[in-house]
Chain A
Amino acid sequence: MSPEARRRRVTLAFALLLAATAVAVVAFMTLGARGNWSFVLPFRGVKLAGLVIVAVAIAISTVMFQTITNNRILTPAIMGFDALYALIQTVLVFTLGAIRVSAMDPRVIFAVETGLMLVFAGLLYRWLFSATVRSLHLLLLVGIVFGVFFRSISGFLQRIIDPSEFLILQDRMFASFNGIDQSLLLIATVIVLACGAAVWRMLPVLDVLALGRDHAIALGVDHQRAVSVTLVLVTLLVAVSTALVGPVAFFGLLVANLAYLLLPTARHAVLLPAAALVAMIFLIAGQTILERVFAFDTALSVVIEFIGGVVFILLVIRGAAR
């Protein structure tokens, strides 16, 4: 493919993604609107902002995680991040009681969760990415083992917890795009914007990190530092998205791989916004379909897993045919 053809293809794909996002936003804001627009627009606008923040956080964190691990099947969720989130929630409810946790300021809980997840990522992944341990299989295994470990502790605590508290806990942990916690929306927006600015500054470094550890070092990148910074950003973004909507495992994998497929480029300046747009299209269009077609009868995560599953199988079949 000549450079001009490639540039045209990238521009075209980007324009299509932007158009699709615009269509989804307009549909989400206007379809089925009855009554006063001055009520409808701000009401739906806040919901839309939540979806956009979550989409950006999941897309960027997944693509960056795949870049530093040089692997396109790994996601923060596979590495035990979501299990840790569930564990923190369970421990909170178990030790403090559901009523007190519900009464607590969600921003405090959010700060505690984010802090714990940062510590976890710092401790676990620093040595996993250090010079001595470099096997991807080990990384995967450790991630899976930690995931199982966290899930087992959560499961154990959930079995001995008061049944009514368990119901509240279960409700808190189920991925939900409907009831995005609005008190967290502002702080989430600030964090995502700050992370976005940091990511923007390290875009060329991310491109080099995608070549792999040895090439990055040979090209003069302080690999350990760059990976640590990236992991902090990934952790913050995962914390934001899990705090807002709960754990979503499959979604990041889907949008990241769709972005790689749609855009014949390895530049993060293109890949990251594209993945974010794909995520927005899925979330906003999905939520619209959910609200207008299924009349809230199902959860968005179900819709996304369905569409995602179909697309993913198509990807696998196409990959095998080539």
Chain B
Amino acid sequence: MIEVESLSKSYGETVVLDAVSIEIARSGVTAIIGPNGAGKSTLLSIIGRVLKADGGRVSVDGLDLAHTAGDVIARRLSFLRQDNHMTARLTVRDLVTFGRFPYSKGRYTPDDKVHVDLAIDYLDLGNLADRFLDELSGGQRQRAFIAMVLCQDTDYVLLDEPLNNLDIKHANAIMRLVRDASTDLGKTIVVVLHDINMAAAHCDRLLVMKDGRVMQHGTAEDVMKPDLLSAIYEVDVSVHPIAGRLVAVY
């Protein structure tokens, strides 16, 4: 379980997180949704340890992030941010192998190689494994980074806007993959999304944020309500059941 207690963060006068307290249960996919500037990525970055909070605490399985060694956390929780620019010239296999760093600290064992091959197969990257990252398309590169995160073999996976700049086909494929990784491999995945319909269709729980606060945390039925969504996004939203799903129209 990820426990967040009265987490706050501000940049100068602007409050980005206003004493956020949430609990994310073990297993399942949780989507964080909300308008731009709601604090979604900030919240995820603080849980992912790349950003320091001004106050409050975060713990994963009872381990306080502030007082636990980095490699211990890295074996439980992985984080992938949205913009993955890379200066080093790496092949897909090189990148995925880095996922084993928290375990073997650079002295990669045959066991690590098994994990790397599994992750590459799971993301169907077999024929791209020896290509350099700068020779891949956006969707392929995103899959390579997700393979690295899966290779890290953590119970918790945080993905910050993994669907950015992907077309419908690739976005759908990544979302289905996230879904399967949670179901097949028993991972707890927290993902920041912009598309509320995508979130409602593929995620077990939705966490709705606005102005640095959590407005609602529940299932798609709890969140996909016209009044709530209209208030959150400040546009008229209606919700319709289509093909067994709740679809928001705006």
Contact = CB atoms under 8 A, between A and B. Distances in A.
B106 A220 contact: no
A266 B130 contact: no
A191 interface: no
Contact of A208 (B52, B93, B101): B101
Given A71-B87, A215-B98, A221-B70, A204 B50 contact: no
Interface string A27-42: 0000000000000000
Contact of A220 (B73, B88, B91): B73
B78 A210 contact: no
A216 to B, nearest CB: 9
Interface string A210-226: 11111101111110000
A218 B90 contact: no
B245 to A, nearest CB: 33
Contacts of A208: 98, 101, 106
Interface string B92-116: 0110001101100111000000000
A207 B93 CA distance: 14
A123 interface: no
A217 B74 CA distance: 8
Nearest to A205: B106
B74 A219 contact: yes
A210 B88 contact: yes
Contacts of B86: 211-212
Contacts of B88: 210-211, 266
B89 interface: yes
A131 B70 contact: no
Contacts, number: 80
B93 A220 contact: no
A218 B89 contact: no
B102 A260 contact: no
B51 interface: yes
A266 to B, nearest CB: 4
Nearest to A1: B130
B51 to A, nearest CB: 7
Interface in A3-41: 3, 6
A189 interface: no
B48 interface: yes
Contact of A131 (B52, B94, B107): B52
B75 A220 contact: yes
A73 to B, nearest CB: 10
Contact of B105 (A204, A210, A217, A260): A204
Contacts of A210: 87-88
Nearest to A69: B87
Contacts of B101: 204, 208, 219-221
A3 B84 CA distance: 24
B180 interface: no
Nearest to B106: A204
A298 interface: no
A205 B106 CA distance: 8
A264 B132 CA distance: 10
A44 interface: no
Contact of A214 (B70, B73, B79): B79
Given A204-B101, A266-B88, A218 B130 contact: no
A70 B87 contact: yes
B152 interface: yes
A207 B75 CA distance: 18
B71 interface: yes
A214 B130 contact: no
Nearest to B99: A219
Interface of A: 1-3, 6, 66, 70-72, 131, 203-205, 207-208, 210-215, 217-222, 260, 264-266
Interface of B: 48-52, 69-75, 78-81, 84-91, 93-94, 98-99, 101-102, 105-107, 130, 132, 152
Given A217-B70, A218-B79, A266-B90, 13 more contacts: A3-B93, A6-B130, A71-B87, A131-B50, A204-B106, A205-B106, A214-B81, A217-B48, A218-B49, A219-B98, A219-B99, A220-B73, A221-B71
Q: Can you list the 7 inter-chain pairs with the closest CB atoms, starting with the nearest?
A: A204-B106, A220-B74, A220-B71, A266-B88, A210-B88, A220-B102, A218-B79
14 contacts: A131-B52, A214-B48, A214-B50, A217-B49, A217-B70, A218-B49, A218-B50, A218-B79, A220-B73, A220-B101, A220-B102, A222-B70, A266-B88, A266-B89
